[in-house]
Amino acid sequence: MERAAAAAGPAVEGGGVSRRAVRAGGAAAAGAGSRQASTETLDSPTGSHVEWCKQLIAATISSQISGSVPSEGVSRDYRVYRRPVVIRALRDGNKLAQMEEAPLLPGESIKVIAKDVMYICPFMGAVSGTLTVTDFRMYIKSVERDPPFVIDVPLGVISRVEKIGVQSHGDNSCGLEIVCKDMRNLRLAYKQEEQNRLEIFENLVTRAFPVSNDLPLFAFSYKEKFAVNGWKVYDPMAEYKRQGLPNESWKISKINSTYELCDTYPAILVVPTSVKDDDLSKVAAFRAKGRVPVLSWIHPESQATITRCSQPSVGPNDKRCKEDEKYLQTIMDANAQSHKLIIFDARQNSVADTNKAKGGGYESESAYPNAELVFLEIHNIHVMRESLRKLKEIVYPTIDETRWLSNVDSTHWLEYIRMLLAGAVRIADKIESGKTSVVVHCSDGWDRTAQLTALAMLMLDSYYRTIKGFEVLIEKEWISFGHRFAMRVGHGDDDHADADRSPIFLQFIDCVWQMTKQFPAAFEFNELFLITILDHLYSCLFGTFLCNCEKERLKEEVSTKTISLWSYINSQLDEFTNPFYVNYENHVLYPVASLNHLELWVNYYVRWNPRMRPQVPIHQNLKELLAIRTELQKKVEDLQREAATRSISSSSDRGSSPSHSATPVHTSV
């Protein structure tokens, strides 16, 4: 039941503001009852002062994007582009101590320096320079070019380091191949007689994989000071209060305050009010890893809910748990507008059957008579890892122009993105249009489950489309609910062949980017925001994505010994703000989950190829547009105040004449 491209359903009527469904490229849904149909979309003009401002911004874009094409210099390809993405604003205000070999962050120290190291660039040939290895980065600076050629790679990005022979470069016959997690590989060569060549290799391996060498990740040494404390972004009690919880049907439980119920769940959970702790413990014993169904999101009007969990331990003998069956019935009963519960199992049906033979399984209609089970047929972590490997092969270092589209298609990457979006649309549609509560799970409930619940919540709740709201969404659905970041990414671990590694979070961010392309005015954040999140998923500069669950992070004192990524981002919001953002609070987004509407995220996956990058400084243009927008907003507000003053003055002059209401000027740019 894909509704991605279907006509918009009726807006939900409820106590207060109505909600409107928005299809990508389509009109907003018509209101129920006597309300007239609306032709407004997130990008359609309305004739207001606000729209005039937006048209002026659009005109400004046209004038500013007609600039000259930058040169193809190698320094532009690597130095100017690379640094803004990874640690750009960290240098602002002279925060980096500039040294001859490498700029250093607070807490960063040099471990080894090697002269006459050759970087074998796949685009420009061999470049000789100085290699500096610190406890955070590998830094190469050329001695041959002006401006200097710079490679600046956080060590956390490195997946593996291998020794290679480089006979074609004469004396430089020893070399290293450095395979990275961000879609690129690097090759270095140095002279065999280089005295510290062993020291180079050992320091690089030791510092790139500190966990495997009993060393702390650099995040615990980083001493930067930011104006904002990002650890305060997410407060679970405040977030549940924003959703209107607790209420008569749902309570906030602290049964997991010591992580005894489920060691991969957060301390604070939302469960049905009538459920007793003893019954909850029995449900936990029946669910894989103790991950009981708990509330993620509640509809503000219908009270339909998204709950998440892991698979039931049904096994080959169809074992049942009366407490679990009653528990799901209670979740359904909490929503008075529906007498059905939809269980979305993210897995392929065949895989779920295999898991059942191993002691797992899925909910049967006989045990859960009021539930409907839907398999979303999404592949497992191993398939996704292989798909990304194939994608990397076709985007770096060379691109076959004659077979580009067929090569992208052969990776199935966009097909898997489509399946995730389609599944999330089905979940969001059941909640919004069907007013039906849903339960979402996969096997363990921390990979595909997080992808689907977070995407559905992003479609349903405009708060999560703001910068802070998106940070809260990641903290809540991914970090606190135990997505195994350390295991899936392999932070500081040299076992690059670990079967548990998989690009699950990368896929989620890719899906979000696809939504921003279809709804360019619906998100407060820009593309750089998403790329920065992914860069620091790997960098180990911040503590945000470290460890596998809340319990581990508490044990490692991550929030007191490291800095949050949100501290960095929220200290410079202008860098990450979308100048076209319009705050439509009650719009539900239904992206088109079709390959015809999806595209490869070139600015992320292919950014290391200088021939595939934008030829104009788009990010700088967007910053300038943001400044123009701010100025225009101020002018609109001044006009509003002036109009209000005139209206009051006119009313006073009329004396006893009938009053006339003024039409407000909308300023939600």
- pLDDT by residue (tens digit) across 82-119? 333 344 434 333 333 344 468 999 999 999 998 888 99
In this structure, which amino acid lies at residue 311?
Q
CATH code at 196? 2.30.29.30
Q: Could you tell me if residue 526 is inside a domain?
A: yes
Structure tokens at 202: 């050992």
Nearest-angstrom CA–CA distance, 610 and 628 = 30
pLDDT, position 483: 98
The CA R_g of the chain, rounded to the nearest whole Å, is: 27
Q: Could you tell me if residue 648 is inside a domain?
A: no
Q: Could you tell me if residue 572 is inside a domain?
A: yes
Q: Which residue positions form the known binding site?
A: 355-358, 380-381, 442-448
ω into residue 246 within 30 of 0, thus cis?
yes
pLDDT, position 634: 86
- Average pLDDT of the residues in 556-582: 97
340 shares its domain with 400: yes
Given pLDDT bands bounded at 50, 70 and 90, which one contains residue 50?
Answer: very low
Give the DSSP H or E segment for 187: strand 185-190
pLDDT, position 123: 87
Q: Could you tell me if residue 329 is inside a domain?
A: yes
In this structure, which amino acid lies at residue 305?
T
Q: Could you tell me if residue 404 is inside a domain?
A: yes
Q: What are phi and psi of 480, to 5 degrees?
A: -70, -30
Q: Which of 592, 612, 632 is the last residue in one of the domains?
A: 612
Give catalytic residue positions. 442
pLDDT, position 313: 98
Q: What is the DSSP letter of 445?
A: S
Q: Could you tell me if residue 659 is inside a domain?
A: no
Three-state secondary structure call for residue 176: strand
Given pLDDT bands bounded at 50, 70 and 90, which one contains residue 266?
Answer: very high
163 shares its domain with 266: no
For 89-98, the CB contacts below 8 A with 24+ separation are 89/568, 89/571, 89/572, 89/575, 90/224, 90/568, 92/572, 95/224
Beta-sheet strands, E only, within 338-436: 341-345, 371-375
pLDDT, position 139: 96
316 shares its domain with 441: yes
Our count of domains for the chain comes to 2
- Average pLDDT of the residues in 385-400: 94
171 shares its domain with 286: no
Using alpha carbons only, what angle is made at residue 25 by residues 20 and 27, rounded to the nearest 5 degrees? Answer: 40
Edge-to-edge strand ranges of the sheet holding 305-309: 294-298, 305-309, 437-441, 341-345, 371-375
pLDDT at 163 over 50: yes
For the chain, what percent of residues have pLDDT higher than 90? Answer: 67
- Average pLDDT of the residues in 347-373: 96
196 shares its domain with 305: no
pLDDT at 135 over 70: yes
Instruction: Kindly report which listed range (18-22, 199-203, 268-272) carries the lowest average pLDDT score.
Output: 18-22
**19 vs 366: which has the higher pLDDT:** 366
pLDDT, position 74: 36
- The string of pLDDT tens digits covering residues 515-553 is 999 999 999 999 999 999 999 999 999 999 999 999 999
For the chain, what percent of residues have pLDDT higher than 70? Answer: 80
- Average pLDDT of the residues in 286-309: 98
Given pLDDT bands bounded at 50, 70 and 90, which one contains residue 25?
Answer: low
Q: Which residue positions form the known binding site for substrate?
A: 355-358, 380-381, 442-448
Q: Which of 561, 583, 612 is the last residue in one of the domains?
A: 612
453 shares its domain with 600: yes
Edge-to-edge strand ranges of the sheet holding 125-134: 150-154, 137-142, 125-134, 110-121, 185-190, 174-180, 158-165
268 shares its domain with 182: no
* Nearest to 454, CA basis, from 430, 483, 433, 434: 483
For 158-167, the CB contacts below 8 A with 24+ separation are 158/204, 158/208, 158/209, 159/490, 159/496, 160/494, 160/496, 161/201, 161/204, 161/205, 161/208, 163/201, 166/120
**Model pTM?**
0.83
Q: Residue 147: count other Cβ atoms within 10 Å of its Cβ.
A: 12
211 shares its domain with 301: no
pLDDT, position 213: 96
380 shares its domain with 483: yes
Asked whether 365 and 342 are in contact (CB, 8 A), the reply is no
**618 vs 39: which has the higher pLDDT:** 618
Q: Could you tell me if residue 159 is inside a domain?
A: yes
Strand 174-180 to strand 371-375: parallel, antiparallel, or no bridges (unpaired)?
A: unpaired
Structure tokens at 283: 């449900």
pLDDT at 1 over 50: no
pLDDT, position 610: 82
pLDDT, position 527: 96
pLDDT, position 584: 84
Sign of the Cα pseudo-torsion (544, 550, 556, 558, in order): positive
pLDDT, position 144: 78
H, E, C per residue of 128-171: EEEEEEECCEEEEEECCCCCCCEEEEEHHHEEEEEEEECHHHCC
Structure tokens at 610: 């200088």
**204 vs 658: which has the higher pLDDT:** 204
pLDDT, position 240: 99
Domain extent, residue 435, equals 236-493+501-612
Q: How many residues does the chain have?
A: 669
- The string of pLDDT tens digits covering residues 437-495 is 999 999 999 999 999 999 999 999 999 999 999 999 999 999 999 999 999 999 999 99
437 shares its domain with 326: yes
- Average pLDDT of the residues in 315-341: 96
- Average pLDDT of the residues in 632-657: 77
Q: Could you tell me if residue 124 is inside a domain?
A: yes
- Average pLDDT of the residues in 606-619: 77
Mean pLDDT, the chain, whole residue set: 85
Instruction: Kindly report which listed range (140-144, 291-295, 407-411, 505-509) carries the lowest average pLDDT score.
Output: 140-144
Which residues, including other chains, have CB under 8 Å from residue 52's CB and lie 6 or more apart?
Answer: none
207 shares its domain with 276: no
Given pLDDT bands bounded at 50, 70 and 90, which one contains residue 226?
Answer: very high
305 shares its domain with 362: yes
- The string of pLDDT tens digits covering residues 570-595 is 999 999 999 999 998 889 999 999 99
